[in-house]
A = this chain, B = another copy of it.
Amino acid sequence: MRRFAADRARRAVAASLRGAAASRSAAASPLAPAPRHPAPPVGAAAMAAALARTMSTAAAGTPPVSLNTINPKVLKCEYAVRGEIVTHAQNLQQELQKNPDSLPFDEILYCNIGNPQSLGQQPVTYFREVLSLCDHPALLDKSETHALYSSDAIERAWQILDKIPGRATGAYSHSQGIKGLRDEIAAGIAARDGFHASGDNIFLTDGASPAVHMMMQLLIGSEKDGILCPIPQYPLYSASIALHGGSLVPYFLDEETGWELEVDELKKQLEEARSKGITVRALVAINPGNPTGQVLAEENQKKIVEFCKNEGLVLLADEVYQENIYVEDKQFHSFKKIARSLGYTDDDLPLVSFQSVSKGYYGECGKRGGYMEITGFSPEVREQIYKLASVNLCSNVSGQILASLVMNPPKAGDESFESFMVERDGILSSLARRAKALEEAFNSLEGITCNKAEGAMYLFPRLHLPQKAIGVAQAAGTAPDAYYAKRLLEATGIVIVPGSGFGQVPGTWHFRCTILPQEDKMPAIISRFKEFHEKFMDEFHD
């Protein structure tokens, strides 16, 4: 009897657990996404399942998971920065290791990704001292520690530990990150912008990517939810929108004017999307630009803020390159600073700023630290964002500490200040020189034109390819810029990303190349590149 009752109860809970699901399926919508492979009617599904069951027990049965059965959104997603060309490069690298003389070069040069330390950039000493101490707090009680670490790094480690409940760097933190570190970041933002910032608005994340995914997950419910994205764009955005099943609404940056972001273009694309029944939820602005390297003018940023305010859009501001500016006449302004300087408050505009420890002069990609500052969301919506953060518990605490350090680096008077500034300025001025050298090299070549890299870590040169090269590529089923990139890799070991991975005006061809190889290697890289390019152009001369 007791068993029977339990059985009935189990059926009841099973039904209730599926209740919400069933009620959501009740209403049909003309715009609801259909699965890639429409489901057979229920009876047929049961039969198919029975068949699959039989087959899976057979020796050469159909595997339970195939490209036909996985989530079609995953299939649709593309991420060129680590795509086909990089896999090819990794294979060549293995070949080189086995047989160093097998290829016409002796190393692979990864210019595909903004990963400075992989190309020899050294970490900032002070930051690493503090991390090392926080990882092993027992050191702080030992006198020998002073022989190995600067005194302000020791002091800073103490301050950080005091902000962590129980000084436990190995504990899950608050899901937004450790409160004291968030407050420190907020103080850094306030000092940067001249406007108030609150630690309550900071969400610490494992790099900027999970923060972008979190916002896309929040904002996208179906394909009728659109996100305005620049073209060319950093493919994290197209990948994330695809994974969450939304619509990427492209707006085009203008190559002729140095990749300017024109508000007329935004308006046109917004209206076009709306006329197709897409509700545009947000606008992504990447400043400084990736892959394009432009730095937005203050006046331009104001127009973008006004546009988002008037159209009721969330402004998703990718500001991870905020420290990477290489021209005298431009400086970085956060979109929040612009909005506040226009008099807009939390009530006027939902705004998210993404920041990362992977970029800047620090380039600590492997540490996976970052944050988003969110303002202008209602308490109920913030609660939903918090819930999303809490499902993954928290971001890694070393990354959290590093995020607080980059937003509050050593100050004048600190023991490490001078050596810190030497390291910092050395990296930034070298990056500026490298950007200039590469840009000049590209522009010196027939068939390449290249805008200046005002900021970020990339150049995005345009390839004016001979018709014959385009024909050969297309006959091989490859985009012409992908064909060019493959040939470059095979001839020189240099890895770039074809423009087709970022989006571009159809009929134009580009590639993204980082400015990150160390300066002493630059002349050799440039001459290898030139040699390849000239041969390539000769080979396909019209």
Contact = CB atoms under 8 A, between A and B. Distances in A.
A82 B393 contact: yes
Contacts of A224: 35, 39, 45
Interface stretch (A66-74, A331-339, A448-456, A476-484): A66-74
A9 B445 CA distance: 26
Contacts of A423: none
A274 interface: yes
A25 B33 contact: yes
A217 B71 contact: yes
A70 B218 contact: yes
Given A24-B34, A135-B398, A171-B366, 8 more contacts: A10-B252, A12-B506, A17-B503, A29-B39, A73-B221, A144-B148, A172-B365, A217-B243
B6 A312 contact: no
Contacts of A387: 74, 77-79
B21 A29 contact: no
A363 B187 CA distance: 32
A261 B33 CA distance: 37
Nearest to A216: B71
Contacts of A220: 71
Contacts of A408: none
B381 A65 contact: yes
Interface string A42-69: 1001100100110111000111111101
Given A138-B128, A240-B391, A396-B206, A169 B13 contact: no
Interface stretch (A110-118, A485-493, A521-529, A533-541): A110-118
Contacts of A365: 170-172, 393
A49 B220 CA distance: 16
B9 A507 contact: yes
Interface in A245-301: 247-250, 252, 269, 272, 274-277, 279-281
Contacts of A61: 312
B171 A378 contact: no
A65 B135 contact: no
A168 B35 contact: no
Contacts of A247: 18, 21
A30 interface: yes
Contacts of A274: 45-46, 49
A1 interface: no
Given A219-B65, A243-B391, A396 B366 contact: yes
Nearest to A153: B136
Contacts of A404: none
A26 interface: yes
A100 B281 CA distance: 45
Interface string A154-180: 000000000001101111111100000
Contacts of A472: none
Interface string A381-395: 100100110111111
A131 interface: yes
A37 to B, nearest CB: 8
B312 A35 contact: no
A327 interface: no
Given A144-B148, A384-B74, A24 B13 contact: no
A416 interface: no
9 smallest CB-CB distances across A and B, nearest first, come from A132-B136, A56-B312, A42-B277, A366-B397, A118-B171, A368-B396, A82-B390, A64-B312, A117-B170
A222 B38 CA distance: 11
Contacts of A314: 64-65
Contacts of A65: 218-219, 281, 314, 350, 377-378, 381
Interface in A217-235: 217-225, 231
Contact of A378 (B66, B71, B133, B269): B66
Contacts of A36: 24, 221
Nearest to A45: B277
Given A243-B217, A366-B171, A503 B13 contact: yes
A221 to B, nearest CB: 4
A309 interface: yes
A32 B31 contact: no
11 contacts: A12-B506, A21-B223, A31-B35, A32-B32, A61-B312, A74-B388, A115-B171, A144-B147, A170-B366, A217-B243, A368-B395
Contact of A505 (B9, B67, B118, B313): B9
Contact of A118 (B129, B148, B172, B398): B172
Nearest to A384: B74
Nearest to A16: B506
A28 interface: yes
